[in-house]
Amino acid sequence: MTVKSTSAEIRQMFLNYFAEHGHTIVPSASLVPQDDPTLLFTNAGMNQFKDVFLGTGTRPYSRAADTQKCMRVSGKHNDLEEVGFDGTHHTFFEMLGNWSFGDYYKKEAIGWAWDLLTKVYGLDKNRLWATIFEDDQGVLPRDDEAANYWRTETDIAPDHILPFGRKDNFWMMADTGPCGPNSEINYDRGPEACDKQGVPGHVCRVNGDCARFTEIWNLVFIQYNSLGGGQLEPLPARHVDTGMGFERIVAILQGVTANYDTDLFRPIIAKTQELAGQSDAEREAHLTAYRVIADHIRALTFLIGDGVKPANKGQGYVPRMVLRRAVRFGRKLGFTAPFMADLVDTVVAIMGATFPELPARVEFIKATINSEEKRFLRTLDQGLARLEEIISYLQEQGKTAIPGAEAFFLHDTLGLPPEVTRDVAKEYGFIVDEKGYALIRESRGGLRDETEETEVDPHNLLYPVLYDWVQCQECHPLRHDPYSGFSVKTHVTGMIRGDGLDTKAFTDDAVELVLQETCFYVASGGQVADTGRIVGPDWEVQVEDVRRPIEGLIVHIGKVVRGMPAVGDPATVEVDAERRRSIMRNHTATHLLHHALREVLGSHVAQAGSLVTPERLRFDFNHDEPLTPAQRSEIERLVTGAILANYPVQTRQEAYRDALSQGVIAIFEEKYGDVVRVVRVGDETTTFSQELCGGTHVSRSGDIGAFTILNETGVGAGARRIEATTGYGALQALQTARARQEQAAAQLAAPVEELPERIGRLQAELRAAHKEIEQLTRKLARADFQSLLDNVVYVADIPVLAAQVDAPDADTLREMTDWFRDKMQGGVIVLGAVIDDKPLLIAATTKALTQRGIHAGNLVRDLARLVGGGGGGRPDMAQAGGRDASKLPEALGKVTEMIKGMVKG
């Protein structure tokens, strides 16, 4: 190529190519995902088609292509750390893509990609490399299909087709959602592009770590839906989803190494340089700052253009964080007044034709950035206030130097420029410890921000700042070893007091302390965190919880119970050892239990959840039926056997793959790195249990002492839960059970051994007694009934009895009518009773009397109406219920009258 194409032309060539191949060109979706809680921002071209892949939505076309605005600052795809430090990763970038929705598949996707790159863009085929998927976990099939099409559909050198595992060649938009194996196209910039030359052991390679090879295009063959936790479900149809980094292909076609040297970024960098008033040499000296600013102003322009306003949490946190980061880098270029908004016109000039939302909202974007930047500059005032506080505190102590760490904290966290700190210090007759300050500044690591959570708790935003603060004070990383002991001597390196960072705390304050070294265990893998104390020269903090809010930072959460801890103080960390020993017993026992379950119930048993506390262990697993008592006993026996064998418990580090091939149990939900920790219980000859685990364990199985199952229950379909305990817990369970037995024995005045027999005897006695009571009750009722007969009246020659009686149920009432008929050899009886607060009426007579017009059914029906109910029945026997029991006497009072009306002859 003699005349290099512009970025606008390169974009258009892509779209034209796919339009010619039957693709509908669609607009970019917004950076703000529509109705997708799994994403903070659009991170790939396929996001807007997620519903089509999942089969829940359709489009009027089956082939599409576009350029999509993407942000990669959070979640599964977070490139923030790379931005400005390499030449290929941005926060905001454009992704060119073409899609097939159940239409063409690997053959065409590969053929066209190759055709476009080599024919249309004219890339040298010897510089192109393709990768295909080969599962490093040995679960999914190798993508031979794609490999074959690379051979038949392109003229790529056969040795330029390389297999890679899940990390590189299995694409997922997030932990859940459409995914599948992919095939990536990489570009070789030649050995001179390597930025790791001379680094011992460095080899330039595809998917390596130097700038020589760049991934440009990813062809994803969508065929699964990830349900999370490593579970994949096949999709109803197969699709193609490709993504090419636009800035990267432009850089290659324009013959430059870094994306920042393309016409997409150069004008922004030039404008920044002009605003900063720096020479070219100065610009080269501050390359990273220029690049970060250029990247971040694009991100800001597009984010705000899509309606994301700076805020303290959620999506809005990203523009705020990105702006602050840019402004901080701006300080390195000498900016002290707002400048970011002045770059917006340049961004819009480059991108506005493709993204018309930018020119439409340019004034709003500038105003938003400007007010946000001003707001941030105001935090400088807070920095000054803080500085004066520090000075007066130091004055009380008779000191005259501001510690370097403090000056750096003011600068880095509160944004107070060091020149200002020096000036103010001078006014108070102070100096800044420049040596300490320089040391810290040099050791400062990259900025970290937590944007993983869509809802960011403002308190959580303190952690990245705390992390930076600790990092720059300490030239060496935090040491964390929960395995070797319960106590360690170290010093305090950082502190949160209440809701802010601080350097000193007072008795009764709620604090979070960071230490240079700690042996506290942080909750993970089901094992709860340690508790304990941190003791300084004249202070003590009671630790209630320990957390790792971000990688590399461990905070000890608790309360100052004595004295005034301060950052820099020496301190002794003391884990509550008794509690931890109980936890270790329960954790090792969990492994033994897991193994015993598989032994007794079958190898289908897999852990579905676990909790290890000092008191007990809880283990959830998949199994369809409750355990039988025999199975429970057998499990306890196996575990006890392992305890008695007193096996050594050993841990080793191993490659994940090797561990799996040796049959080590891995828990499905857990994510493992390449190197894993294997916990083995066994001796030279026997391996009782082997699991991947980061938890703390006893050193020999005998240390567990005793093991007992407390209960076994169902938790949802096909899942069971066992709670068990060890050591003193087991003893306590035993003692509690014994105490209960003894109490029962004392109540029965019988020896414990005789309890079952005695209980059996008691139950028999009770049954007999119940029977007797029943008989007696009847006898009594009959006797009572006898006296009722005094109330019999005669209607003509017919004896009639209408009475309210006490009866427990309808059966008894019916029985009473039988007694009456026996006794009176005929007649009419109507009984009422209140049963469960409701009136019940029964009427009975003899066949002979029905001939004379008496009808029990009609009688009851009419009476029931009086008590708010209904019913009826045969002429000789009927019953009915009602609602109003208070009307019963009145109803019964009408019986004689009614019968009079019925009798014939």
The 3-class SS string of 374-422 reads: HHHHHHHHHHHHHHHHHHHHHHHCCCCEECHHHHHHHHHCCCCCHHHHH
Residue with tokens 């999370």, as numbered in its chain = 228
Q: How far apart are CA 331 and CA 377, in angstroms?
A: 11
95 touching ligand ATP, by CB under 6 A = yes
Compose the 122-161 pattern: x for residues touching ligand ATP by CB under 6 A, - for all others.
Answer: ----------------------------------------
Of the pair 180, 565, the CB lying nearest ligand ATP is at 180
- Residue range at the interface with ligand ATP (CB under 6 A); choices 130-138, 241-249, 794-802, 817-825: 241-249
Helix ranges (H only) for 614-754 are 629-644, 656-661, 727-748
- Residue range at the interface with ligand ATP (CB under 6 A); choices 51-59, 212-220, 678-686, 850-858: 212-220
Which structure tokens are listed for 739? 């105490």
247 touching ligand ATP, by CB under 6 A = yes
Of the pair 154, 218, the CB lying nearest ligand ATP is at 218
In whole angstroms, the minimum distance from the beta carbon of 186 to ligand ATP comes to 9
688 touching ligand ATP, by CB under 6 A = no
Residue 878: other Cβ atoms inside 10 A? 24
Going by their DSSP bridges, the two strands 63-71 and 24-25 should be labelled as: parallel
Of the pair 5, 379, the CB lying nearest ligand ATP is at 5
Q: How far apart are CA 840 and CA 804, in angstroms?
A: 10
For residue 353, the 8-state DSSP code is T
Of the pair 41, 101, the CB lying nearest ligand ATP is at 41
Of the pair 69, 89, the CB lying nearest ligand ATP is at 89
- Residue range at the interface with ligand ATP (CB under 6 A); choices 87-95, 119-127, 317-325, 340-348: 87-95
- Residue range at the interface with ligand ATP (CB under 6 A); choices 72-80, 442-450, 789-797, 805-813: 72-80
In whole angstroms, the minimum distance from the beta carbon of 630 to ligand ATP comes to 54
Give which of 518, 516, 543 is closest to 531, Cα–Cα.
543
- Residue range at the interface with ligand ATP (CB under 6 A); choices 50-58, 239-247, 769-777, 807-815: 239-247
Collapsing DSSP to helix, strand or coil, 54 comes out as helix
69 touching ligand ATP, by CB under 6 A = no
- What are the residues whose beta carbons fall under 8 Å from the beta carbon of 886, sequence distance 6 or more? none
294 touching ligand ATP, by CB under 6 A = no
Q: How far is CA 580 from CA 217, 584, 613, 695, in A?
A: 51, 6, 9, 11
- Residue range at the interface with ligand ATP (CB under 6 A); choices 89-97, 279-287, 496-504, 723-731: 89-97
In whole angstroms, the minimum distance from the beta carbon of 359 to ligand ATP comes to 24
Answer for which of 23, 89, 106, 861 binds ligand ATP (CB under 6 A) is 89
Of the pair 134, 620, the CB lying nearest ligand ATP is at 134
Of the pair 67, 473, the CB lying nearest ligand ATP is at 67
Of the pair 186, 518, the CB lying nearest ligand ATP is at 186
72 touching ligand ATP, by CB under 6 A = yes
In whole angstroms, the minimum distance from the beta carbon of 281 to ligand ATP comes to 28
Q: How far apart are CA 158 and CA 161, in angstroms?
A: 6
In whole angstroms, the minimum distance from the beta carbon of 294 to ligand ATP comes to 13
Quickly list DSSP for 698-719: -SBGGGG--EEEEEEEE-STTE
In whole angstroms, the minimum distance from the beta carbon of 559 to ligand ATP comes to 43
Compose the 170-209 pattern: x for residues touching ligand ATP by CB under 6 A, - for all others.
Answer: -x--------------------------------------
Of the pair 217, 329, the CB lying nearest ligand ATP is at 217
In whole angstroms, the minimum distance from the beta carbon of 648 to ligand ATP comes to 43
111, 240 contact by CB (below 8 A): no
Element (H or E) spanning 330, and its range? helix 317-332
Please give the residues from 481 up to 500 whose contact with ligand ATP meets the rule CB under 6 A.
none
Q: How far is CA 67 from CA 98, 348, 653, 719, in A?
A: 9, 17, 45, 47
In whole angstroms, the minimum distance from the beta carbon of 468 to ligand ATP comes to 22
Give which of 652, 268, 64, 690 is closest to 48, Cα–Cα.
64
Answer for which of 73, 109, 210, 216 binds ligand ATP (CB under 6 A) is 216
Q: How far apart are CA 249 and CA 11, in angstroms?
A: 9
Q: How far apart are CA 169 and CA 119, in angstroms?
A: 26
Quickly list DSSP for 198-251: T-TT----TTSSSSSEEEEEEEEEEEEEEEETTEEEEEEEEEEEEEEEHHHHHH
State which residue has the least CB distance to ligand ATP.
245
For residue 118, the 8-state DSSP code is I
Instruction: Calculate the CA dihedral of residues 581, 583, 586, 592 and round it to 10 degrees.
Output: -80
In whole angstroms, the minimum distance from the beta carbon of 293 to ligand ATP comes to 16
Residue 138: other Cβ atoms inside 10 A? 11
Compose the 606-625 pattern: x for residues touching ligand ATP by CB under 6 A, - for all others.
Answer: --------------------
Going by their DSSP bridges, the two strands 213-228 and 161-164 should be labelled as: unpaired
Of the pair 89, 581, the CB lying nearest ligand ATP is at 89
In whole angstroms, the minimum distance from the beta carbon of 93 to ligand ATP comes to 4
Compose the 347-386 pattern: x for residues touching ligand ATP by CB under 6 A, - for all others.
Answer: ----------------------------------------
In whole angstroms, the minimum distance from the beta carbon of 346 to ligand ATP comes to 20
Which residues face 871 on adjacent strands? 880
In whole angstroms, the minimum distance from the beta carbon of 33 to ligand ATP comes to 16
- The angle that helices 404-412 and 462-473 make with each other, rounded to 10 degrees, is 150
Of the pair 292, 692, the CB lying nearest ligand ATP is at 292
Going by their DSSP bridges, the two strands 532-535 and 487-497 should be labelled as: unpaired
In whole angstroms, the minimum distance from the beta carbon of 297 to ligand ATP comes to 15
Answer for which of 218, 301, 586, 696 binds ligand ATP (CB under 6 A) is 218
215 touching ligand ATP, by CB under 6 A = yes
Of the pair 39, 899, the CB lying nearest ligand ATP is at 39
In whole angstroms, the minimum distance from the beta carbon of 112 to ligand ATP comes to 16
CA 32 to chain centre: 22
- Residue range at the interface with ligand ATP (CB under 6 A); choices 90-98, 568-576, 687-695, 879-887: 90-98
Strand ranges for 647-700 from DSSP E = 649-655, 675-682, 687-692
Of the pair 170, 408, the CB lying nearest ligand ATP is at 170
- Residue range at the interface with ligand ATP (CB under 6 A); choices 238-246, 430-438, 476-484, 589-597: 238-246
260 touching ligand ATP, by CB under 6 A = no
How many residues make up the chain in this entry? 905
93 touching ligand ATP, by CB under 6 A = yes
Q: How far apart are CA 413 and CA 424, in angstroms?
A: 18
Please give the residues from 39 up to 58 whose contact with ligand ATP meets the rule CB under 6 A.
44
Q: What number of helices (H) and strands (E) belong to the chain?
A: 26, 35
Q: Please work out the total of residues on this chain that contact ligand ATP, with binding judged by CB under 6 A.
A: 18
Give which of 653, 641, 692, 698 is closest to 671, Cα–Cα.
692
Residues that bind ligand ATP (CB under 6 A): 44, 72, 77, 79, 89-90, 93, 95, 171, 215-218, 243-245, 247-248
